[in-house]
Amino acid sequence: MTHPHPLHGVRVAILVENGFEQVEMTRPRDALHAAGATTTLVSPSTPTVHGWNGDEKNDEVKVDVGIADARPLDFDALLLPGGVWSADMLRANNKAVLFVHAMQIARKPIAAICHAAWIQIGRAHV
């Protein structure tokens, strides 16, 4: 018999910065919750970040854990929502890059949507 919530007990970090694409965070997060996972919004910006809908500022969302306090060992997987501004700021943030790199080294699943994959390539040369 399969569990009604196949991701029950799975802890997923969602790494964002101001300028993330709102729907690329909320829809996957809702699907993770429906499957039984627990999510934690992680960001260099605290206590809140702003999502965007295309070119328009959208909702302000509460950050659960600042990147300085986030520990890759506390998570089973990572979700990287897209958004050009968020992706650009994250790949230029050493702590965010190191967090993602630690998840890669630990071979934990990483879901990167659209521009979010930039951080997996490495630090921006800015």
For residue 30, list its beta bridge partners: none
How far apart, in whole angstroms, are the C-alpha atoms of residue 89 and residue 83?
A: 10
Of the candidates 13, 17, 20, which has an alpha carbon nearest to the alpha carbon of residue 89? 17
Q: Establish how many alpha carbons lie within 13 A of residue 78's alpha carbon, considering only the half-sphere containing its beta carbon.
A: 30
Q: Is 115 a catalytic residue?
A: yes
Cβ atoms within 10 Å of 105's Cβ, excluding its own: 9
Catalytic residue among 5, 33, 50, 115: 115
In the residue annotation, 114 being an active-site residue is answered as yes
Residues 8, 50, 101, 114: which is the catalytic one? 114
Residues annotated as catalytic (active site), given as ranges: 114-115
